[in-house]
Structure 1
Amino acid sequence: MVKPVKKKMAGWGKYPIESCLVYRPESTQDLKKILSSQKEKQIAYGLGRSYGDTALNEDEGISLFNKFDHMLSFDEESGILTCEAGVSLEEIINIFLPRGYFLPVTPGTKYVTVGGAIANDVHGKNHHLDGCFSEYVLEFDLLLASGETISCSRVENTDAFWATIGGIGLTGFITRAAIQLIRVETSYIKATYEKAENLDVAFEKFVENDANFKYSVAWIDCLSTGNSLGRSVLMRGEHALKEELPAKVKEPFKPSKGSVLKMPINAPSFALNPFSISAFNALYYASFKNETKIVDSSSFFHPLDAIDDWNKLYGKKGFIQYQAVFPKSNDPKSGIRKLLERLTEEKCSSFLAVLKSSGPANEGLLSFPMEGYTLALDIPIKDGSLFPFLRELDEIVLSYGGRVYLAKDATIDPETFKKMYPKWEEFKKVKKELDPDGLFSSSMSRRIGLT
């Protein structure tokens, strides 16, 4: 029998830190034994890149999926990959990009498992055109609390499919998935950089040009004020064609970069303050010019992956990543402006503030995106005063009909969650059918009143 080890665990934001019973299963049979013992609640844990307590389980069970990392089959003609749920997006890129295939959707880090990408229904810089990761998931196997494995797709066990998409691991263990890869001619991106002096100009440029670019995102200086509030650098891109590569590029497929730097220790708490981040933001903004150039895909899609353990930049107390979406139908620019104004008023430091446009919502009962704009912020935890401030941000988001991303969240309460995710009752109904005894549960699901 697989025995657990009691261990302190945290998500990527290093808050909260909780004591969990950690299992290391090596096979589906091990997973079935863990479930049949029913000693603790269970949740799957991939590579730990969810920020808060999505994959934590205080005093309960966590099953690590690092041994479920096998590629099972690949159809060269169709580009369909079948793999175990613990396979990482990095592994897929490293193996298939040199063969001319790329992920149809990738989040800001490649250190995410396929199972985690499904459970959090991750999205990327192309959501406005191509939707979430789930758009390219053809089917997956779901191991239920009963020990039965069911196949889920848009035509088979559809209720389970759409409850599991974005369902933060609460319907069962995803063990295998078939996903659609896309063909590319090179591993490079033709990237266009354009500066915007404030939020109004940034929104104008999004509205004017988003449909013309497959990938679109903007870095925002969230500490700029006055006429410069929301000054931005827009970063757009397309997969580069072979004929677009400069002469000095001899090979169309450059190997994907791993981490090239390492953050050895937690940064001291005084290092991150409004003055240091304001100075960094000013230098970062000045470092860009309006231009189009060829860049490698790693630096375009996953720039922070170049720094191993970059979360240590935010110090021992950790940080909150706060990502909210504002619907297109309800003046999203005004909502984002209010958020930025409150951040500057409170001198809430964030190096990373990212604005993206998003396309229509899908059928995932707890999937995050909706048509509109998302703003993501990294906010260091200095002391307890941050948490009432986050509640205030929640109220701003709610007043515009928006919601926060569960994969990033560590603080919302049950009332806020239910307002933000109106399909929660439908989700609970499907979960009850799949997991009648509530075996699958997490610290997050209990905090938000979902289990």
Structure 2
Amino acid sequence: MTDSNDFGHAITDSGQPVVISGWGRSPYSSSTRIDFGDTPGRYRPETLARYISALPPSNRIIARGLGRSYGDASLCAGGRFVSPDDLSQTFDFDPATLRLRVSAGVSLDEIMRRLIPSGYFVPVTPGTRYVTIGGAIAADIHGKNHHKDGSFAQHVTRMQLVTASGSEELTPADELFWATAGGLGMTGIITEATIQMRRIPTSYMKVTTERTPDLEETIVRMSSKDEQFQYSVAWIDCLATGSSLGRSVITWADHAEVADLGRKQMRDPFGYSPRTRLTAPDMAPSWLLNRASIKIFNEAWYRKAPVHAETTETIPGYFHPLDGVADWNRLYGKPGFLQYQFQIPFGAESVLRHIIERLSGARASSFLAVLKRFGPGSPGPLSFPAPGWTLALDIPINDPRIASLLDGLDYLVAGAGGRVYLAKDSRVAKDLIPVMYPGLTEWAEIAQRADPEYRFISDLGRRLELRKLPEPKASLLGTLATRNRRGPN
């Protein structure tokens, strides 16, 4: 399959399918990369649109950025994938309006390296800066400031989308805009976007840390103090039991003013030089992160945290500590891991406690368990954040009990009116999705109008049948309602 572009070269299939995975290193999938020849970064969206329209309807395609979605959201078995960084590159920042027009393949890492030294910051960043703009919109990523600033797509003023019928420019007034925000690439391929950036007074963070003895105190402290700070997050020890269940280390932060800096920091108040200090071994044994080692780590991490302290930290140190370890996903060994992230509404804190009890009782090992408070959600029908609490934890998948444990937790989450994060999922039951995401039918109808031949579909979309799900079964809704009335058991 070829298509000429403006430079006389051709778009082709790269040849043999390649085997790829998400960041969790499981599952794997085989697909063919669309090859832009030896001039990456010079192909315009119109060229890609012509290529896609010429494909037979049975050919499937999905965009894949830096591969940081944990499960199968960027996989397309037997189909094709395109990397947005192969398309024409745009980076146009207007300091007067704080708007950045940027290609979808540009990463948050590149944006930060180029703009933080001049006093500008991205509106939302997740726990890694190795995310493309296209991926940030497609997953509608959130960060530690969701309670204040919402999700990433709420700071996008326009985007360019290659659909099955051509290239379209979208704004928040368009229904396809919000179907794309959180739509995980299944409405088309994002090629460019305009982002509303923000000014920052320095490149440092003023951080307040508190250690809490249990989950109840964690919830009380976050509920009472989060609104005082721009950023908030809690690390939870999910292996603690009894009176220490849910003990946490909470960190709140704001961008530091110059007056907050030490003498050495004042010499370069906008200095920004993130570093990779370690590289995980390629063949880490699967037993490296087990319950015993993680329990030791959790105990040490909790004990070293101050009961209360105020410090000044770098942006990488506060937002992206794991980025300092290259290929840290290798630490889980060859079997890989999954990240289980869910949201439950305010008022369902008893369910949150029960889930943590179940995790602790099942001896589910996770050294990375993070709790945040969400503010109002976005208009995106498949956007994950909604008012309430969200807990994310990395779990090795070398334990055969994990599957049944998480299946049970899914029902607790859905019964409480919550949802799992599809950008990180690789195993939730498809029948629960219309319960967790009431806007699914609306999204599927918009996606059908934009892509009537189902060209844009991922392994996740096929596994969950997102484009063709029936209405929720009354029996399932009845079961969830009954569980909710009785409370967790």
Fold shared, TM-score > 0.5 on shorter chain: yes
Q: Distance in 2 between matches of 1:270 and 1:247?
A: 45
Q: Distance in 2 between matches of 1:380 and 1:396?
A: 21
Within 5 Å, give how 1:313-352 maps onto structure 2. Answer: 313-328=331-346, 330-331=347-348, 333-352=349-368
For 2:227, give the aligned amino acid. A
The answer to whether 1:73 aligns with 2:83 is no
User: By how many angstroms is 1:66 displaced?
Assistant: 2.6
Q: Give the one of 292, 297, 303 matched to 1:275.
A: 292
Q: Give the one of 50, 63, 73 matched to 2:69.
A: 50
User: By how many angstroms is 1:413 displaced?
Assistant: 2.0
For 1:101, give the aligned amino acid. Y
Q: Distance in 1 between matches of 2:383 and 2:206?
A: 30
For 1:408, give the aligned amino acid. K
User: By how many angstroms is 1:299 displaced?
Assistant: 0.6
Q: Structure 1 stretches (4+) deviating beyond 6 angstroms?
A: none
Q: Give the one of 402, 421, 426 matched to 1:405.
A: 421
User: By how many angstroms is 1:33 displaced?
Assistant: 4.3
Which residue of structure 2 aligns with residue 305 of structure 1? 323
For 2:405, give the aligned amino acid. F
Q: Give the one of 174, 183, 203 matched to 2:219.
A: 203
For 1:118, give the aligned amino acid. I
Q: Distance in 2 between matches of 1:375 and 1:256?
A: 30
Which residue of structure 2 aligns with residue 3 of structure 1? 13
For 2:32, give the aligned amino acid. L
The answer to whether 1:358 aligns with 2:358 is no
User: By how many angstroms is 1:30 displaced?
Assistant: 4.6
User: By how many angstroms is 1:267 displaced?
Assistant: 2.1
Q: Give the one of 25, 42, 48 matched to 1:14.
A: 25
Residue pair 1:69, 1:83 contacting (<8 A) in 2 also: no
Residue pair 2:49, 2:167 contacting (<8 A) in 1 also: no
Secondary structure of 1:49 counterpart: coil
Which residue of structure 1 aligns with residue 486 of structure 2? none
Residue pair 1:24, 1:64 contacting (<8 A) in 2 also: no
Within 5 Å, give how 1:132-171 maps onto structure 2. Answer: 132-146=151-165, 148-155=166-173, 158-171=174-187
Number of aligned positions between the proteins: 446
Residue pair 1:190, 1:238 contacting (<8 A) in 2 also: yes
The answer to whether 1:253 aligns with 2:270 is yes
Which residue of structure 1 aligns with residue 474 of structure 2? none
For 1:308, give the aligned amino acid. A
Within 5 Å, give how 1:361-400 maps onto structure 2. Answer: 361-400=377-416
Which residue of structure 2 aligns with residue 262 of structure 1? 279
Which residue of structure 1 aligns with residue 129 of structure 2? 110
The answer to whether 1:182 aligns with 2:198 is yes
Which residue of structure 2 aligns with residue 130 of structure 1? 149
Cα deviations across residues 279-303 of structure 1 (Å, max 9, x unaligned)?
1100011111120011001010001
Q: Which sections of structure 2, spanning at least 5 residues, go unmatched?
A: 3-11, 468-489
Secondary structure of 1:412 counterpart: coil
Within 5 Å, give how 1:421-440 maps onto structure 2. Answer: 421-440=437-456
Q: Distance in 2 between matches of 1:367 and 1:389?
A: 25
Which residue of structure 2 aligns with residue 444 of structure 1? 460
Residue pair 1:69, 1:85 contacting (<8 A) in 2 also: no
After superposing the two structures, state which structure 1 stretch, 384-393 or 161-170, moved more. Answer: 384-393
Which residue of structure 2 aligns with residue 217 of structure 1? 233
Residue pair 1:41, 1:440 contacting (<8 A) in 2 also: yes
Secondary structure of 1:271 counterpart: coil
Residue pair 2:13, 2:32 contacting (<8 A) in 1 also: no
User: By how many angstroms is 1:327 displaced?
Assistant: 0.6
Which residue of structure 2 aligns with residue 295 of structure 1? 313
User: By how many angstroms is 1:276 displaced?
Assistant: 1.0
For 2:81, give the aligned amino acid. I
For 1:277, give the aligned amino acid. I
Answer with 1 or 2: which has the greater Rg: 2
Return the TM-score normalized by structure 1: 0.97
User: Residues 207 and 224 of structure 1: is their aligned pair in 2 closer, same or farther, counting only changes over 3 Å?
Assistant: same
For 2:383, give the aligned amino acid. S
Which residue of structure 2 aligns with residue 37 of structure 1? 54
Q: Distance in 2 between matches of 1:238 and 1:266?
A: 39
User: By how many angstroms is 1:69 displaced?
Assistant: 7.0
The answer to whether 1:84 aligns with 2:103 is yes
Q: Distance in 1 between matches of 2:51 and 2:103?
A: 18
Cα deviations across residues 18-51 of structure 1 (Å, max 9, x unaligned)?
1112223442355224313324200000000000
User: By how many angstroms is 1:72 displaced?
Assistant: 3.4
Q: Distance in 1 between matches of 2:377 and 2:460?
A: 23
Secondary structure of 1:161 counterpart: helix
Q: Distance in 2 between matches of 1:243 and 1:69?
A: 42
Within 5 Å, give how 1:59-70 maps onto structure 2. Answer: 59-68=78-87, 70=89
For 2:330, give the aligned amino acid. K
User: By how many angstroms is 1:407 displaced?
Assistant: 0.8
Cα deviations across residues 184-210 of structure 1 (Å, max 9, x unaligned)?
111000001100011011011011101
The answer to whether 1:419 aligns with 2:435 is yes
Which residue of structure 2 aligns with residue 193 of structure 1? 209
User: By how many angstroms is 1:212 displaced?
Assistant: 0.2
CA RMSD of aligned residues (A): 1.2
User: By how many angstroms is 1:388 displaced?
Assistant: 1.9
User: Residues 46 and 69 of structure 1: is their aligned pair in 2 closer, same or farther, counting only changes over 3 Å?
Assistant: farther
Residue pair 1:355, 1:373 contacting (<8 A) in 2 also: yes
User: By how many angstroms is 1:334 displaced?
Assistant: 1.1
